[in-house]
Structure 1
């Protein structure tokens, strides 16, 4: 009897990894939780602006805990998860892009921000697509780094599984998870073997930038779902790894 699809997931070690494990199990997979991101707060809060863009639930929780008040700013959320966190702390969300990405944010704001002050509050690994795109639209852009994303100590069990050919799937949710996976593999002396193992597995990424990062590092990507959600990624990757599993 074949084992279930052994799928590595690299989300932060909080409710997101728990939700990912639960979802993968519901899809019949055998999850390998290997968090590749940990949050180090900077204790900064957003500057006053006409528009304030929040790009993560983590950022919202940090500035809310610090007592930050958005005042009369137009509040922008990158997606529904971030918007839900904003509403939970009592803020009204004014804008959510159709596409939950930096590109989607630029498209949603470009026609309205010429001459406006736009505050982008996010991690230290945010995409230049957002800040450059808003600046090109005429906005006066300021970026506030709310937290740094670092690789947790002890990460990398999934890299050893990949190196030994015992991983069937991998789900990368950002370019940083790709780089941290490879750093963990290198730390354990199995970087090349882990890449080879991934190339024999089903690899999925959220978004084109993450796919580009993976492929630049030598990792072949099999799945990039059109919907930018973890659920879409997990469903597509499990199906790619075992297309007859549900039959």
Structure 2
């Protein structure tokens, strides 16, 4: 790589951030680790008497497993392979994974099955209403359990300062909330407009269409959206766009 490519990554400060840093290092980029999400468990446990239970994240699976949640005869659904894999690792049978790893995809998969059924949705406090509204519209009785809250770490914001100073070549947004928290951190420093300008001079990657829409609604032009909502694809495509002279 003929130039330094500084890439901001906003994943929570756990194995996801460590894996992201390792991947960016392997691509010859310089990771700028600035976690924009931290998990605060609520201590709530999903109901165990539902016909269907839906888990939407690896974090949620780990929390219910730690609580020794026993779903009994409930049909278990996972949004995404990483969630399904975590469920299997913790001894939960995965009965259903939608072809499209999204709330919309799961609603479409369940639409014909759930009229009159009790559906438990266990997730974060920032879950999309698309899932619960869609299931209710399909005729099911939906109960939502908030397993954890997603908050912005107070020390976050290094990447906003670097963006404002024109010191980032790329930024990788992995959810709408990472966009919002990045902008909040920039605004806290009085640098919101400058940070947006800096991002628009860099390569901005968004992991999926909802994240892209959130960014663009706030004035951030998105350059890269991978075909699949996969961090490795997002990182590889964004680094390539930021440094087209790079070759494996």
Secondary structure in structure 2 of the residue aligned to 1:113: coil
CA distance in 2, matches of 1:19, 1:104: 27
Equivalent position of 1:152 in the other structure: 153
CA distance in 1, matches of 2:106, 2:232: 21
Alignment of 1:73 onto 2:71 = no
Equivalent position of 1:240 in the other structure: 241
Equivalent position of 1:44 in the other structure: 44
Equivalent position of 2:24 in the other structure: 24
CA distance in 2, matches of 1:111, 1:28: 48
List structure 1 segments (4+ residues) > 4 angstroms apart after TM superposition. none
Equivalent position of 1:8 in the other structure: 8
Equivalent position of 2:110 in the other structure: 109
Equivalent position of 1:183 in the other structure: 184
TM-score (structure 2 length as normaliser): 0.96
Equivalent position of 1:166 in the other structure: 167
Identify which range, 158-167 or 22-31, moves more after superposition.
Answer: 22-31
| Number of aligned residues | 247
* Aligned pairs (5 A) from 1:172-211: 172-211=173-212
> Residue deviations 1:136-179, cap 9 Å, x none?
21111111100000000110100111000010001101110000
TM-score (structure 1 length as normaliser): 0.97
Secondary structure in structure 2 of the residue aligned to 1:8: strand
CA distance in 2, matches of 1:242, 1:232: 15
CA distance in 1, matches of 2:93, 2:4: 43
By how many angstroms is 1:228 displaced? 1.0
* Aligned pairs (5 A) from 1:67-146: 67-146=68-147
By how many angstroms is 1:214 displaced? 0.5
By how many angstroms is 1:116 displaced? 0.9
> Residue deviations 1:98-119, cap 9 Å, x none?
1211122112211211111111
Equivalent position of 1:56 in the other structure: 57
By how many angstroms is 1:244 displaced? 2.4
Secondary structure in structure 2 of the residue aligned to 1:148: strand
Aligned-residue RMSD, C-alpha: 1.2
Secondary structure in structure 2 of the residue aligned to 1:75: strand
Name stretches of at least 5 consecutive residues in structure 2 with no aligned partner: none
By how many angstroms is 1:2 displaced? 4.4
